[in-house]
Structure 1
Amino acid sequence: MIRTAILGVGNVASALVQALEMVKQGEKIQGCLTSLPYKPDEIEVVAAFDIDKRKVGYKLREAIFQKPNVVPKYVDVRGDVVVKKGVVLDSLEGILERIIELSDEKESDISQVLKDEKVDVVINLLPTGVVKASEYYAEEALKAGSAFINATPTSLVNQFSSAYKEKGIPIFGDDLLSQIGGTSLHTGLIEFLKSKGVQVLRTYQVDIAGNTEVLVTLEDWRKDLKKGIKSNFISKHIDGAEVVAGTTDYVEFLGDRRVSYIVVEGLYSFGIPVRIDVSLKSQDAPNAVAPLVDLIRIAKMLKESRVGGSIPEVSGYYFKKPPVVYSSMEESRKVLLEYISKVTS
């Protein structure tokens, strides 16, 4: 069993917990690696932390459906894990203050809970821009000897890589790349055009959704942070083109549905212009499930082998802001599979 803890019981946590329940009932998660020694049904969430009074003190199977979460109910989740109070180290002023109803429960001793529950892997699912708490949780996981997956844009991997390497514990990040989100599709489209000899001149991507993750990023500084990471990731895969990518608006009635609009302009043949317009419509939170299920199992595998630190071969495939950005997604997947084959052989 892979004993797992979740930081932030939001929409992604809801999708992940439900997916793990469905796996235990015989369903399959599309897109997961099959070459790992651990299987998805061996993942068990044994601890969860949040700061919202609508979730703290409630069973996780109930908390994942509490407001402001908007992920639909796909399955009845079993289990008696109770959500514990996390830490409040960042300012809640602005949009977060409107979203969160702060619990007055006492903050938990995070590292002690992780030790008591013998947690193998901790997943950071806090909102964009929650920096101090993310750093604190990374330190607490290190104290407890737990691997750490940073799905948020907060820069943690380079900061903590040496300490985690010294203890033989992996840390992956930063900013999870969705399975079939706008950035993944956008990058894949550009790589296809490059393979056909098209000169990409300019491209942009705009994302709209109705979940709290998008609402939070409407604050200018959070929006600029996400926009910078997405644009930089895509820019790494093309030379000299103008790139703009990021969240543009919150539409409440969309709920967890995300709409991405992608435009690519370039030249082909003897300077003939071409323009591609793509609209992608998907459920947002489930996009994180397959990558997280892979990362949890890889983290457990490496932790058992005493392989610690940032592991560029892993983070380079699953994140938008990894320690090393490869020239293409195809290359990053090849490097990942070769690395896993070497570790498991």
Structure 2
Amino acid sequence: MNGIMYPRIGGYWVNDMRFVAAFDVDRRKVGLDVVKAIITPPVAAVLHVDVEPTGVLVEPGPLFDGIGGNLDGVIEPHPTSREVTIDQVADRLAAVGADVLVCLLPTGATNAVQAYARAAVKAGVAFVNATPEPVAHDPEIAAAFVSGGVPLLGDDLRSHLGATTLHTALIELLQSRGLAVVNTYQLNVGGNTDFLNLSDPRRAAGKVWTKRNALSAAGIDATTVSAGPNGFVEYLGDEKACFIRIEAASVLDSNLVLDIRMQVEDSPNAAGVLVNAVRIAKIAAEQGHAGSVDDVCAFLFKNPPEGAPESVGIRKFRDYIDSVARD
């Protein structure tokens, strides 16, 4: 299948994954089969594959700060979401025998994201933090995963081949030829609810931080680099367009300039990474791994506990895959 790096990881194929529970706060999604809920408005994702109903109905999750900024007028909270507790989520995860909990909450929902992380620890369920909110980077929560013997992958999922991956790979390419990056930027626009949420600077702050950290790990000073969400363009739907410019100094201080525009479909681009992260989280749990799975996180996430250049991240990721294949 195009874009799937590893159809099989440690004995698990992509089609071995199954939904056993789902949580949301939007009243239009709660009570629906998860397959139908995924494409129910206001989501802009396009259905690419006809999937039979799973029998797994979306349940109300804890609201906390999950809705804010521009989402206030778009998401209709389910009336019971304000009453759902961390313990209730943990109990449900345990009851259905979940192996991995994937968190795809909106950027800026720090309290809600961390609540799900704590629920995963309580239930002994591996956690994949696809959001920029600090979980692997929160000392208290990260320590809870270690003491609980629960695997943690995060923070802020990279796209399979997205703006940050392309940007960091180009920086490494220039540096490998001895060029010095003088100036750069990365501008992103899109039309889904993720970009609607990120069009509020208060909600987008975490995303800007993680993108800058990814660029810093690539070997440049990204302290003041403009990198992150820059606008909501509704007609783009689930398409995302990124604009990257890199100015570099080459031989005899001659100038080199790269201007690139890339457009991708956002949701499938994330799925290509998640199918790897979920299977690795499952394997890590089987191996008794506690805390962050550092060997894979630099490749899978923008803001891992231990950042690395693109080539180092993918080498460590492949080494991990090879090691579990031999076990």
Return the letter of the residue paired with 1:46: V
Of 283, 288, 294 in structure 2, the residue corresponding to residue 301 of structure 1 is 283
Give the corresponding residue for 2:176.
195
User: Displacement, 1:35?
Assistant: 4.4
Give the corresponding residue for 1:3.
none
Give the corresponding residue for 1:80.
55
Give the corresponding residue for 2:108.
129
Residue 164 of structure 1 contacts residue 309 of structure 1 at CA under 8 Å; is this kept in 2? yes
Q: Determine the C-alpha separation between the residues in 2 that align with 1:94 and 1:309.
A: 32
Instruction: Tell me if 1:99 matches 2:74.
Output: yes
Give the corresponding residue for 1:235.
216
Return the letter of the residue paired with 2:58: V
User: Displacement, 1:308?
Assistant: 1.2
Give the corresponding residue for 1:7.
none
User: Displacement, 1:259?
Assistant: 0.5
Return the letter of the residue paired with 1:301: I
Give the secondary structure class of the aligned counterpart of 2:181.
Answer: strand
Aligned CA RMSD, in angstroms, stands at 1.7
User: Displacement, 1:339?
Assistant: 3.2
User: Displacement, 1:300?
Assistant: 0.8
User: Displacement, 1:202?
Assistant: 0.6
Residue 153 of structure 1 contacts residue 226 of structure 1 at CA under 8 Å; is this kept in 2? yes
Give the corresponding residue for 1:22.
none
For residues 81-230 of structure 1, the aligned pairs below 5 Å read 81-90=56-65, 92-105=67-80, 107-108=83-84, 109-159=88-138, 160-230=141-211
Q: Determine the C-alpha separation between the residues in 2 that align with 1:240 and 1:118.
A: 45
Give the secondary structure class of the aligned counterpart of 2:49.
Answer: coil
Residue 155 of structure 2 contacts residue 301 of structure 2 at CA under 8 Å; is this kept in 1? yes
User: Displacement, 1:80?
Assistant: 1.4
Percent pairwise identity: 35
Residues 44 and 240 of structure 1: is their aligned pair in 2 closer, same or farther, counting only changes over 3 Å? Answer: closer
Aligned pair count reads: 318
Give the corresponding residue for 2:249.
267
Residue 149 of structure 2 contacts residue 288 of structure 2 at CA under 8 Å; is this kept in 1? yes
Give the secondary structure class of the aligned counterpart of 1:270.
Answer: helix
Return the letter of the residue paired with 1:116: A
Of 252, 259, 264 in structure 2, the residue corresponding to residue 277 of structure 1 is 259
Give the secondary structure class of the aligned counterpart of 1:129.
Answer: coil
Structure 1 gap segments, 5+ residues each:
1-26
Residues 232 and 189 of structure 1: is their aligned pair in 2 closer, same or farther, counting only changes over 3 Å? Answer: same
User: Displacement, 1:224?
Assistant: 2.8
Residue 201 of structure 1 contacts residue 240 of structure 1 at CA under 8 Å; is this kept in 2? no
Instruction: Tell me if 1:290 matches 2:268.
Output: no
Q: Determine the C-alpha separation between the residues in 2 that align with 1:173 and 1:33.
A: 22
Q: Determine the C-alpha separation between the residues in 1 that align with 2:101 and 2:95.
A: 14
Residue 170 of structure 1 contacts residue 299 of structure 1 at CA under 8 Å; is this kept in 2? yes
Residue 8 of structure 2 contacts residue 14 of structure 2 at CA under 8 Å; is this kept in 1? no
Return the letter of the residue paired with 1:67: P
Residues 239 and 62 of structure 1: is their aligned pair in 2 closer, same or farther, counting only changes over 3 Å? Answer: closer
Return the letter of the residue paired with 1:56: V
